[in-house]
Copies of this chain bind each other. A is one copy, B any other.
Amino acid sequence: MSAPGIRIGLIGYGYWGPNLARNFNETPGACIAAISDLSKDRLALAKARYPNAEVTTEHDRVLGDPKIDAVIIATPVTTHYPLVKRALENGKHVLVTKPITSKVSEGSELCNLAEKKGLVLMVDHTFIFTGAVKKIKQLVEDGSVGPLYYYDSVRINLGLFQHDVNVLWDLAVHDLSIMQYLHGALPNEVSATGISHFAKQPENVAYLTCFFSDNFIAHLHVNWLAPVKIRRTLIGGERQMIVYDDLEPDEKVKIYDKGVDVKTREGAYQLLVSYRAGDMRAPQLDRKEALAVEAAHFVECINKKAKPITDAPSAVGLVGILEAANESLKGGGRPVKVQQVL
């Protein structure tokens, strides 16, 4: 906490911004040097918490400030493209909240710009930095789980009703980022269904199936109008199955030594599927706050000129899935090809 290190400007001090500010301000080698928001009330609160930071209603003063090294953008999706572009043009490293942009074309342009300028462009897919997801990634990579069969997530609650994007763009993007991190490839095709219960509003309940080129399927269920909060993902593999419940205080990841044994009986005509039932194990997880880990990673990537785990090109891949999902939604589940942007 001696030398300030990287001086960070934060655009957007609404719902998520305060969490970003708190974590970055306690990250060694970084400090929050400026905060902008359109609301004067929010800025007053920001000033009380960070008396040494400059606060302003004009984000251009942050984006253009030569003393600022990096910018965090925590604003609505539709504003991401112009703000990130301006920040990169001004030579700032950027961390932007998810999804990176509302169009694949815009996201690709930002990727190219960051690469040309030699700047870090990282996307705040926070879950990738949780102890739970890191543990599951390790179990998939070391072969414990075996070839992946399915990824099934439910992310529902009485959430903030958004008026500019539908519930897939708001919630499913979290699960898509985890799915992509674990499986690697983008889906070939998607089928999405859903409904808006309110005239002229975006879909508030949606279901998305992703088809891949291998024996793997993913399904996501998101809902802004559910009476209970559920954050549960099932990951089925040939050897093990995992239940990841983000609301469990202690045992977020449970690994089941369960599965099927498939045998061929008498002359290959009939398949026998028998179940294996074994122990369950809940491994000890890294309990560090994900945003703190993410903040340290962003600072490290800047200092070492390294590629972030949640880099912009992967994030643009997710936008491609969401674009295809929107088209399928309109067609009542009609399968739609996904743009292979990676």
Contact = CB atoms under 8 A, between A and B. Distances in A.
A3 interface: no
A228 B256 CA distance: 9
Contacts of A247: 249
21 contacts: A1-B48, A51-B52, A149-B197, A150-B197, A154-B154, A156-B234, A189-B332, A193-B209, A199-B271, A219-B221, A225-B260, A226-B236, A227-B241, A227-B243, A227-B254, A228-B250, A229-B250, A279-B282, A279-B283, A279-B284, A333-B335
Give the interface SS of chain A, mostly helix, strand, loop or mixed. Answer: strand
In the complex, the count of this chain's copies comes to 4
Interface stretch (A59-67, A174-182, A200-208): A200-208
Given A200-B271, A219-B193, A225-B236, A26 B48 contact: yes
Nearest to A2: B44
A163 B219 contact: no
Contacts of A201: 271, 273
A15 interface: no
A271 B198 contact: yes
Interface string A232-276: 001010000111000101110010101110100000001101110
Nearest to A210: B193
A186 B100 CA distance: 41
Contacts of A193: 191, 209, 211, 217, 219, 333
Interface string A158-201: 10010100000000000000000000000001010111011111
A236 B227 contact: yes
Contacts of A199: 271
A35 to B, nearest CB: 15
B243 A228 contact: yes
A306 interface: no
A283 B334 CA distance: 41
A242 B227 contact: yes
A314 interface: no
A252 to B, nearest CB: 11
